[in-house]
Each structure stands twice: as structure tokens, then as C-alpha cells.
Amino acid sequence: MVINLSLHHLRAIEAVQRTESFTRAAEEIEVSQPALSRTVAEAERRIGTQLFERTTRKVTATVTGTEVALYAAHAVRSFDSALERISGFVTGSSGQVRIACLPSLAATGLPEVVHAFRREFPEVELVIRDAAQDQVVPMVTEGTVDIGLVAFTDSLPADLAVTPFLSDPFVAIVPRGHRLAARASLRWEEFHGEEFVGFNSVTSIAPMVRRTLLKAAAEPHEVQTADTIPAVGGMVAAGMGITAVPRLVVPLMNFSDLVSIPIMPTIERKLVIAYLSDAPLPRPVFNFKQRLIESAAE
């Protein structure tokens, strides 16, 4: 038979055993002494044995009382800890935020936000994964991550909500010794006939560059494509050709002696925060989303 004791009973037993005083225990758990005495008496009735021996000077736990108080203390600590965790999750001061993002953001846009957020919410765990656009989007739709930082396209799934947070203009990348390296700016038309190192279609960069070049009636000679930013940067640095990338990507090519040049007219990659639209964001995730937006506005 299971003895039916409430948390109210357990908290009273633990306090009396620890303080060895009904008066101090009543003050600590903020009830009147008569109410505390009734609670302990009710617990003793339900257990079927005396828990405390009372004298005018002292309260001493019986053998059973000592054992019950040990379990009561464990239950009270567990309950209070759970309440703290629930409260922290609801207010956003604890919990977990799972983020997937493009490599360019993971390296250049996200670190400052993560650093500031961790200082503000040290009890929130941040899990960060960087991947190409075609990998990030499924992570969000499948619930593997809470939010994805991706480039906006018309092909994003309908079940995703998106919040714009950053515009990322395209620039030309050329070797320092290239004949175009000294130019203050370039036009998209000037890519026509140039040897060009492109990105494969798995990236968010390739479709935008191809559409823009097509609109400008520019047909560069694509000599090579690659999946990653460092790979493209290395090929450009080796003299294989020039390329066009969003400005946030440039720091990832700093290992090479390259020059970035603004391209006119300005074409921007619109970066968005993507998340499932059918459920509200948990408070820690919402807080991180807001910090991203605030950081981009600075």
C-alpha cells in the first residue's frame, strides 16, 4: 500500500527534522505553528507511526522520522529544482537553443551575438551547426534545430515562417595582381568573357549569381566550380579566375591575397531567420531571435 503524502507534508517533515523546532520550521516555510503541527500530525496518521518526539525544550526525530525526513528532503529539493528549471525555461533564462546556419554567418555574423547572448543568459545552452542552405532548411522543417539562418528564396517550404534580419551585398573577388584589382567598383556586365570560378548549386550563392549574370547578359567563362568558400577563394587566389560572393563571405577568404570590389548595381542576399510556423517559439529561442535582429540593426 502506497502512503499518500503531499509535498506540503514532506516540506513540513523536512523542515522540522532539520531545525529540530516547530517554531523555526514554521517561520521558515511561512505557516503558523498550529498549522504546521496539524500537517505533521496528519502525516503521522497517514504513515501510521510517530515521526517526532516532542518535549518543551526540543523536538527529536524518531528512527522512522529520520528516514522519512531523508526522503522528504530529496523530494523537496527535486521539486524545487524542477520549478526553477520550469521558471527559467518560461522566462528564457535557461533551456536550449538549437541553431543551424550558413558557414558565412557561423564565422562572421553569429559569433558576436552568441558571445553577448551567453553573457546575458549563461544558463541557456546554444547548439550551433553550420551547413549549406540545402542542409539547413531540412534541419528546421524536421525539427532537428529550432531556427535556421538562411538566404531567402521563393523555394523555402510553406511551413516555415521567416523573419528578415540582414542584407548582404555581393562583391567581386579578384587576385591582387589582376587587371581589375585597382578598380573602385565593377558592373555585372564586366564579368562577360572573364574566367570565372563559381559555386555549385548546393550553396545559397550560386542561384543568385547565375540569375544576376543572366539578367545583365553577362556570360563569363566558368572554368571551375566548388562547394565551399575556401575552395573557391583558393582557386581565385591561384589565378584560375574571378568570382562574386556576398560580403559576409569575404573574411573566410582572408587566407589568400585577394581583393574585394563592390559590384553595381547592388544585389543583396537577403538573410532570414527561418522557423516552423505552426508553434510558438520557446522563450529562450525567441530571446535569441530578438538578439539576432537587434545585432543586425546596429
Summarize pLDDT for 185-232 with one digit per residue, the tens: 999 999 999 999 999 877 789 999 999 999 999 999 999 999 888 999
Q: Check: CB of residue 10 under 8 Å from CB of residue 72.
A: yes
DSSP codes of every residue in 220-265: -EEEEEESSHHHHHHHHHTTS-BEEEEGGGGGGGTTS-EEEEEEES
pLDDT at 174: 96
Contact 39, 14 (CB under 8 A): no
The three cell numbers of residue 145 are 534545430
Residues of the chain with pLDDT under 70: 1
Cα angle: 157, vertex 244, 198; to 5 degrees: 75
Domain with CATH 3.40.190.10 in the chain: 94-165+270-297, 168-269
Residues of the chain with CATH 1.10.10.10: 7-91
Residue 1: predicted pLDDT: 62
The predicted pLDDT at position 163 comes to 95
Q: Sign of the C-alpha dihedral, residues 92, 289, 103, 249? A: negative
CATH class for the domain made up of 7-91: mainly alpha
- Give the three cell numbers for residue 283: 522563450
Residue 109, pLDDT score: 81
pLDDT at position 54 = 86
pLDDT of amino acid 115: 95
3-class SS of residue 175: strand
CATH top class, domain 168-269: alpha beta
Distance, CA of 281 to chain centre: 11
For 94-165+270-297, CATH gives: 3.40.190.10
The phi-psi region of residue 183 (left if phi > 0; otherwise alpha if psi is between -120 and 50; otherwise beta) is beta
φ, ψ for residue 244, nearest 5 deg: -130, 130
Query: What one-letter code names the amino acid at 188?
Result: W
What pLDDT does residue 247 have?
93
